[in-house]
Structure 1
């Protein structure tokens, strides 16, 4: 579910007018988009970003065979090796900075820096490979990072009731689970809005 029409860091020639932060912006929030290999993190950042997204994709090689689990993503030819970055304005005043993490476990050491200062996270999952989400969710829980689950709508992925997904992922009742299509800007934006509403609800919850 990856697109190849955005620029990589190595080919950026300079900011465009639309890449500049709006003058009306008064607050910025760092959000992390996480998930296993091939679940659609880069696709989501590219789809929803109002600026030209930055990516660190590299061509996959034979060296990854037996190391990276690409089940369900056999057609992928590139993979994120550091991070993806994008930006979206939720209102005229509020801007979200989006950081997509690399999915392969061998690059997870980079997560430490990406999580610094993050207010929350969207966990993208692929129902064909729920097991790749277990360690991702565990790391967020260990760090105390609030998150929501976004079930990416792959055409051949099985559809499970929310209750079954919640039980399989061992999630508490308060964590939102939503469906999304990471290729679609509106759908990806809705997933981010779900996270923002969830974060707002946490500020109103008595300690």
Structure 2
């Protein structure tokens, strides 16, 4: 089986499980809301809010981890919405161990699917190591001369050759002092 075929099969399975588990979870939350006195449209609004918040919070958790931001509140909310969804599934079930287990399957499958998809981070190549140490932009570089010493001081001085026209380099925009973006290496440029 080629990698492309395997990816296509995985996508079909993902969509099938996600659609069926999501539909069951949405329906249980809707039915529970309606059974407890909410109008039909509010039942659907509750289902959308509970189920999609779990997906959104999973995405937010992944984004925060990527940029090393705190995840405590988001993780707590994710657990809370997952438990709320699971409670809605179990509340609609026959009051037995098997009834609760079977009713919990759509919610658990949906949440497991979200977890697997969101934890499948793309592999990023490691940042290349700089060849030279970082440059301190606050220091002024020492002026050095590049004129070679004449080998024979008695030799006549060659006629002056006009210098080539100066080529202007593009302007470099640096971030404000003290600000380093997390996705950029600490070396902004290398002066040669």
TM-score normalized by structure 2?
0.20
TM-score normalized by structure 1?
0.19
- Which structure has more relative contact order (CA 8 Å, sep 6+)? It is 1
Higher share in helix: 2
Greater Rg, structure 1 or structure 2? 2
